[in-house]
Amino acid sequence: GDSVTQMEGPVTLSEEAFLTINCTYTATGYPSLFWYVQYPGEGLQLLLKATKADDKGSNKGFEATYRKETTSFHLEKGSVQVSDSAVYFCALSGGLDNAGNMLTFGGGTRLMVKP
């Protein structure tokens, strides 16, 4: 079945540091890939997505590129802010084993940004 693996946290960075959160996946077919973010006390929000190989999703300064050859979708941001402190989830849907397009999530990575 489909699966998503992302780096364990917490990741602690100083403000303006460069961020990478690694995400790799296993799926048959051509799934869509997502990053969701959960701010403290809030629900899951879609951060960005990519629907096919070599697509780049971007939002709020975050970027991730769909790499089929390495089955990866790493999240990056050039300069993090304190307000980026949250839990980040990598997810996929739409693999061949997934007719209902339910999301398969990674375990989440907590990011803490210090001023």
Partner 1 sequence: GAGVSQSPSNKVTEKGKDVELRCDPISGHTALYWYRQSLGQGLEFLIYFQGNSAPDKSGLPSDRFSAERTGGSVSTLTIQRTQQEDSAVYLCASRRGPGRRMETQYFGPGTRLLVL
Please compute, for residue 110, the number of CA atoms within 13 A of its CA located in the half-sphere on the CB side.
4
For residue 110, the Cα-to-chain-centroid distance in whole angstroms is 12
Q: Tell me the closest approach of the beta carbon of residue 115 to partner 1, in angstroms.
A: 28
Q: Tell me the closest approach of the beta carbon of residue 103 to partner 1, in angstroms.
A: 6
Let me know: does 4 contact 105? Beta carbons within 8 Å: yes
* 40: its two tokens: 């403290």
Would you count residue 83 as binding partner 1 (CB under 8 A)?
A: no
With a CB cutoff of 8 Å and minimum separation 6, the contacts of 94 are 29, 30, 31, 32, 101
Site string for partner 1, 84-103 (x = CB under 8 A): -----x-x-xx-----xxxx
Among 12, 14, 51, 81, binds partner 1 (CB under 8 A): 51
Alpha carbon of 11 to those of 6, 88, 113: distances in Å? 12, 11, 8
Q: Tell me the closest approach of the beta carbon of residue 76 to partner 1, in angstroms.
A: 21
Would you count residue 109 as binding partner 1 (CB under 8 A)?
A: no
Among 7, 59, 65, 105, binds partner 1 (CB under 8 A): 105
Would you count residue 74 as binding partner 1 (CB under 8 A)?
A: no
Q: What are the residues binding partner 1 (CB under 8 A)?
A: 32, 34, 36, 42-46, 49, 51, 89, 91, 93-94, 100-108
